[in-house]
Structure 1
Amino acid sequence: DWEEYSEILRERMGLDNKMLRRFYDMAKQTPKRVVFSESNHLNMLKAAETCVNEGICYPVLLGNEEKIASIAAENQISLEGVEIVNLRHDREESRRLHYAKLLSEKRSREGYTFQEAAEQMFNRDSFGMMMVESGDADALITGVFGKYLDTINLAKDIIGIREGLNHIGAMHIVNSKRGVLFLADTLFNRHPNSDV
């Protein structure tokens, strides 16, 4: 059993991390559709390839097929098992308009118009978040190029905060030689209290 052999080697070399392996195992049991919005970045393509090879998710890359294929070919990255959605292509017009309709209806009380939403659907993060919001995807990975706060505000506007909750938070998982550290909330709530 190669999988078992690999685990034993990692353990002997001190590279074993039971918690991360557990996350991987959980992801493998029910792989989700994950949108990679900044798929013209080499690290995103490498991550998508790894996800396919590990069987932990079904990557959906947003962007121009030719550009993505070119970057992948230059770096010997396989795109097999990866879906590419060119949100700017005419074939995606009906989906862009559908997402724009959903978003403009959701934010209509704020004075947000269909035209504004339709224009916003040419933005990769906005389109990807609407994929998640509408159930066409389960998660979105972004943040290589944009500012963190801008991305979070966009997510709050498009996806929103779960009903019954008032705040968002962040947690970093740091894998160190001393073990795994969970750092929360290092980004949003400067003075957290029991409400946060």
Structure 2
Amino acid sequence: MEVFESLKANLVGKNARIVLPEGEEPRILQATKRLVKETEVIPVLLGNPEKIKIYLEIEGIEDGYEVIDPQHYDKFDEMVAALVERRKGKMSEEDARKVLVEDVNYFGVMLVYLGLVDGMVSGAIHSTASTVRPALQIIKTRPNVTRTSGAFLMVRGTERYLFGDCAININPDAEALAEIAINSAITAKMFGIEPKIAMLSYSTKGSGFGESVDKVVEATKIAHDLRPDLEIDGELQFDAAFVPETAALKAPGSTVAGQANVFIFPGIEAGNIGYKMAERLGGFAAVGPVLQGLNKPVNDLSRGCNADDVYKLTLITAAQAVHQ
């Protein structure tokens, strides 16, 4: 089954509610139309109810979604109090009221934090920092997780792989890299991928040397110690991780080399370049970044996204909410 059809099937009966703070944006509205028609996800749009209703009625959508106007919200005082408490000593009541009125991402994140919705998707017109910062301040990371990371689902036909971290951590140390690998395994399973995790490097099993190689070797050991149940191997060059014939020569006996489906890059430079090369030269669709490690799911769109990207990332966010 195609990956997004599989996600849709797993969401049947769950009624996952996902807030889209940029509710008046045309791409968001087009994605809402599709979500209502094709899935059981309930989009919760922030914005002017009249404008949104008129647009969607013209598109033949009369129900199956919700609209919240941050300027006239009956739980606003409760939200202000919760934000002040969450940001103890860092935000006054006056500041909280101001930010919730002026910044839809803070408003959306507070809906998630209070359990009024199950997740959030933003970033069509906001920067990554504007989307992620409120999530890190308010929702924060899961217990035993020290940082969030960003993974891309790479899809071509029936092929699916996961690349991480291609979006958040610039130069992760060994402990961070191990954590990224473990969280990527969780994300992979959500997509129906049984993870075989390759810790990538320019070296395979000692063929090269340097601080970067040492970091990947150490990260592999840490990940093994933390999650001995996961199939993780490193350090591996990409060809050794992906090509069975190369794996037989460079990493004989490895249960991951030659058959990896989750690729952990040593830093954001390699990760960002790698996923874009796979996308542009290899013909893969890159979906994400999927933010990993948060207590509740919040995901960031590219400002260059289209309605299909919004639709897919909303499905993923709903799946994360159900999976957690």
- TM-score category of the 2 structures, normalised to the smaller one: 0.7 to 0.9
Report the 3-state secondary structure (helix = DSSP H, G, I; strand = E; otherwise coil) of the residue aligned with 1:80. coil
Q: 1:63 touches 1:86 (CA, 8 Å); kept in 2?
A: yes
Is contact 2:84-2:92 (8 Å) kept? yes
In structure 1, the gaps of 5 or more residues are 1-15
Q: Deviations over 1:157-194 (max 9, x none)?
A: 12122232110011111222472231211011123333
- C-alpha distance in 2 between matches for 1:82 and 1:40: 13
Identical pairs, percent = 22
Residue 277 of structure 2 aligns with which residue?
none
> How many residue pairs end up in the alignment?
175
Alignment of 1:17-28 (within 5 A): 17=2, 19-28=3-12
Q: Does 1:64 align with 2:44?
A: no
Preserved contact between residue 27 and residue 57 of structure 1 (Cα < 8 Å): yes
In the alignment, which residue of structure 2 is the partner of 1:187? 167
1:105 and 2:85 aligned: yes
Q: Any idea what SS the aligned residue of 1:157 has?
A: helix
Q: What displacement does 1:149 show?
A: 2.1
Determine which of 6, 9, 15 is the counterpart of 1:31.
Answer: 15
**Aligned match of 1:80 in 63, 77, 81?**
63
Change (3 A) 1:68 1:174: same
Q: In the alignment, which of 108, 114, 118 is matched to residue 134 of structure 1?
A: 114
CA distance in 1 between partners of 2:29 and 2:116 (Å): 21
TM-score, scaled relative to structure 1: 0.81
**Structure 1's 70 and 29: CA in aligned 2 closer, same or farther, altered over 3 A?**
closer
> Which residue is equivalent to 1:46?
30
Deviations 1:30-53 (A, max 9, x none): 121111111111121122222222
Larger RCO (CA under 8 A, 6+ residues apart)? 2
Residue correspondence of structure 1 range 1-12 to structure 2 within 5 A: none
CA distance in 1, matches of 2:137, 2:144: 16
Look up the match of 1:161.
Answer: 141
Q: CA RMSD in A?
A: 1.9
Q: Is the 8 A contact 2:11 2:41 kept in 1?
A: yes
Give distance in 1, aligned partners of 2:39 and 2:94.
39
Larger radius of gyration: 2
**C-alpha separation between the residues in 1 aligned to 2:30 and 2:63?**
12
Q: In 1, are the aligned partners of 2:141 and 2:147 still within 8 Å (CA)? A: yes
Q: Report what 1:118 is aligned to.
A: 97
Q: Is the 8 A contact 1:61 1:84 kept in 2?
A: yes
- Contact in 2 for aligned 1:132/1:139 (Cα 8 Å): yes
How high is the TM-score relative to the length of structure 2? 0.51
CA shift for structure 1 position 73:
4.7
After superposition, what is the alpha-carbon deviation per residue over 1:58-82, rounded to whole angstroms, capped at 9, x for unaligned? 11111101221333355x2514211
